[in-house]
Structure 1
Amino acid sequence: MKNKFIKIFCIAIVGAMTLTSCDKGFEELNTNPNALTDPAVKSMFTLAEIYVDGQDFSNTRGNNYYAAQIVQQFSSLGGPGSKYTYSSEYSGSLFGESYGKGLNQIFQLLSVVKDTPENANMIQSLRIMKVFMFQKLTDTYGEIPYFEAGKGYNGNVFSPKYDTQEAIYNDLLKELDEAGDALDANKPFVGNADLYYQSDVTKWKKLANSLMLRVAMRLSKVNPAKAKQYVEKAVAKGVFTSNDDSLVLKHDAGPQGVKTNPITSSWVRNDLNGGDGNVKFSKTYIDFLKNNNDPRLRIYAKLEATGDNSPASQQGLANDAKEFPGGDKKMFSDPNTSTVLRLDAPTLIMSYAEVKFILAEAAVKGWNVGGSAQTYYEDGVKAAMNILTIFGDKVPAVTTTEYNTYIAAHPFKTAGTEAEKIEQIITQKWVVLLFNGFEAFSEYRRTGYPAIVPVNDPTGETKGTVPRRLIYDQSELITNAANYKEAISRQGLDLMTTRIWWDKQ
Structure 2
Amino acid sequence: MNMKRFLSIFFVLPLVFVSCDLTMDEVSQDVNKPTQVHPKTILTQLCITTFGIEYYGVQPYRLAWQWDQRGGGGHFNFQRRNFISEYRRVTWCYDMVREAERLNDPRYIHLAAYFRASWIFDTTRLFGDVPYTEAAQGRFDDPNFSPKYDPQEEIVAGLLRELAAANEALGDYDNTKIDGDVIFGGDIRKWRQLINLYRLRILINCSMKQTIAGERVGELFAGIVGDPEGNPIMGALSDSAIRDEKGNMENYKYYNDNNFVSSYRISKFVVDWMRERGDMRLPKLAEMMIKLDGKNADPTDLANYKGVIPNPGATGDNNNTDMEDGSQSRLKSKWYLEPVGPSAMNIGYPEQEFILAEAALRGWTDDDPETHYLNGIRAAHEFLGVSSADTRAYLGHEKVQFKGSDTEKLGKIITEKYLNFFMQGGNEAYFELRRTGYPDFSAYLTHNTDQIYNDGYLPLRYRYPQSEIDNNNAQVSEAIKRLDKGDDRNSRMWLLQGSDPLFNPAPFPFRYKN
TM-score range, shorter chain: 0.7 to 0.9
What is residue 262 of structure 2 aligned with on the other side? 276
Q: Which amino acid counterpart does residue 166 of structure 2 have in structure 1?
A: A
Question: Residues 416 and 445 (structure 1 numbering): CA distance in 2 closer, same or farther, change over 3 Å?
Answer: same
Partner of 2:15: none
Indicate the RMSD between aligned Cα atoms, in angstroms.
2.8
Cα separation, partners in 2 of 1:407 and 1:54, compared to 1, 3 Å: closer
- The residue aligned with 1:74 is 67
2:287 paired with 1:302? yes
Shift of 1:40: 3.1
Q: CA 1:354/1:112 → structure 2, altered by over 3 Å: closer, same or farther?
A: same
Amino acid of the residue matched to residue 51 of structure 1?
T
Using a 3 Å threshold, how does the CA distance of structure 1 residues 135 and 164 change in structure 2: closer, same or farther? Answer: same
Summarize the alignment of residues 200-349 of structure 1 with structure 2, pairs less than 5 Å apart.
Answer: 200-223=187-210, 226-235=216-225, 236=227, 237-251=231-245, 259-260=251-252, 265-266=254-255, 268-272=256-260, 275-277=261-263, 279-303=264-288, 306=293, 309=299, 310-320=301-311, 321=314, 322-323=316-317, 324-326=319-321, 327-328=323-324, 330-338=326-334, 342=338, 343-349=340-346
- After TM superposition, the score normalised by the length of structure 2 is 0.78
Kept in 2, the 8 Å contact 1:210–1:234? The answer is no
Other-structure match for 1:106: 93
TM-fit CA distance, 1:334: 2.0
The DSSP-based 3-state class of the residue aligned with 2:238 is: helix
| Partner residue, 1:448 | 437
In structure 2, the CA distance between the partners of 1:75 and 1:346, relative to structure 1 (3 Å rule), is same
Question: Which region of structure 1 is more displaced relative to structure 2, 193-202 or 155-164?
Answer: 155-164
Distance 1:252 1:304, change over 3 A: farther
Matched position secondary structure for 1:43:
helix
For 1:461 and 1:419, the matched residues in 2 are separated by 27
- Output the CA distance in 2 between the equivalents of 1:417 and 1:294: 23
Give, as a single letter, the amino acid of the residue that structure 1 aligns with 2:351.
E
Identity %: 26
Letter in 1 for 2:410: I
Residue of structure 2 in register with 1:13 after alignment? none
How far has the Cα of 1:304 moved from its partner?
Answer: 8.0
| Distance in 1 between residues matched to 2:78 and 2:495, nearest whole Å | 23
Equivalent residue for 2:350? Answer: 353
Alignment match, 1:395: none
Alpha-carbon shift at residue 163 of structure 1 (Å): 1.2
Q: CA deviation at 1:223?
A: 2.4
Task: Give me the whole-angstrom Cα distance separating, in 2, the residues matched to 1:251 and 1:75.
Answer: 26
Q: Does 1:474 align with 2:461?
A: no
CA contact (8 A) 1:378 1:412 kept: no
Residue 179 in structure 1 maps to residue 171 in structure 2: no
- Residues 372 and 413 of structure 1: CA distance in aligned 2, closer, same or farther (over 3 Å): same
- Residues 207, 239 of structure 1: 8 Å contact kept: yes
User: In 1, Cα distance between the equivalents of 2:354 and 2:123?
Assistant: 23
Q: Is the 8 A contact 1:251 1:346 kept in 2?
A: yes
| Distance in 2 between residues matched to 1:314 and 1:412, nearest whole Å | 20
Corresponding position of 2:107: 121
Which one of 349, 359, 362 corresponds to residue 359 of structure 2?
Answer: 362
Corresponding residue to 2:450 among 444, 453, 458: 458
In the alignment, structure 1 residue 380 sits paired with structure 2 residue 381: no
> CA–CA distance in 2 between the matches of 1:282 and 1:196?
31
The unaligned stretches of length 5 or more in structure 2 are 1-32, 500-514
CA contact (8 A) 2:130 2:151 kept: yes
Name the CA shift for 1:253/1:300 in 2 (closer, same or farther; >3 Å): farther
Aligned position for 1:42: 40
List runs of 5+ in structure 1 lacking aligned partners.
1-34, 390-397
Give 1:148 shift: 0.5
Alignment of 1:432 onto 2:424: no
Which structure shows the higher helix fraction? 1
Counterpart of 1:462 in 2: which secondary structure?
Answer: helix
Q: In terms of Rg, which structure is larger?
A: 2
2:79/2:462 contact within 8 Å kept = no
Residue aligning to 2:133: 147
Q: How many angstroms apart in 1 are the aligned matches of 2:405 and 2:336? A: 35
Q: Is the 8 Å Cα contact of residues 411 and 439 (structure 2) preserved in structure 1?
A: yes
Which residue number corresponds to residue 16 of structure 1?
none
Moved more, 438-447 or 180-189: 180-189
Aligned residues: 440
| Residues 53, 344 of structure 2: 8 Å contact kept | no
Q: CA deviation at 1:410?
A: 3.4
Counterpart in the other structure of 1:501: 494
* Paired amino acid for 2:216: K
Residue of structure 1 equivalent to 2:122 = 136
Give the direction of change, closer, same or farther, for the CA distance of 1:420–1:85 in structure 2 (3 Å limit).
Answer: same
